[in-house]
Amino acid sequence: MDRPVTVHEKVQAVADMTRDDEVAAQVATGLLKRPAVTGQVTPADRMRVVTELTRDDAVAQEVTTELLRRPTVARTVMRDDTARMLVNRAQFDNSEETRERIRETVPAVRKIEHTIEYLDLVGSCHSYVATLGRLVPRMRGLEFTDDERETVRRQIGRVRAAADWLEGALDNGEFTLDEQLAQLLKGE
């Protein structure tokens, strides 16, 4: 009398028949199209398979695009700080590339940007001076604690550093922000 073939024996037979990568690829493709089969795969193994199948950047881009078109998936992904930061960075980079292409093809854009940035810079300086002109006279008679005076002095130091940076940038054409100044401007 024949005994039934065990699951283990069936698995071993399939493993033996799929040793050839071409056969294995076709079998895997067919199996992964069956919801009843994929439903029995653990979430950790599904993640591993998806990661493996999306090693190619072009495939990963297509899959990611499709997944982000699902509102609940997109909403959940955007709750992850790192993912959100990387998406924002990518959006910024894409916008910057687009702006650069426009600058190259339409020279007038550079002149317009220059004018806007110049006006922003002059406006920021004017706004700062105007704000101090309004606030400082109103402080007459106010008593500040030592901590408050020290906090304002630290902020004045940041303002001086920023003003010195701006003045140096205008004089020597060096508009990069070094790490030490960046930390000072951040208040570190």
Residue 6, helix vs strand vs coil: coil
Least confident of 36-40, 58-62, 110-114, 184-188: 184-188
Q: Tell if the pTM clears 0.75, that is, is over it.
A: no
119 versus 164: the higher-pLDDT residue is: 119
Calpha distance 25→55 (Å, rounded): 16
**pLDDT tens for each residue of 8-56:** 888 888 888 888 888 888 888 888 888 888 888 899 988 998 898 899 9
Q: What is the pLDDT of residues 113-147, one digit of tens each?
A: 999 999 999 999 999 999 999 999 999 999 999 99
**Alpha carbon distance, N-terminus to C-terminus of the chain:** 82
Dihedral, CA atoms, 141, 143, 148, 149, nearest 10 degrees?
70
Considering the chain, what percentage of its residues have pLDDT values greater than 70?
A: 96
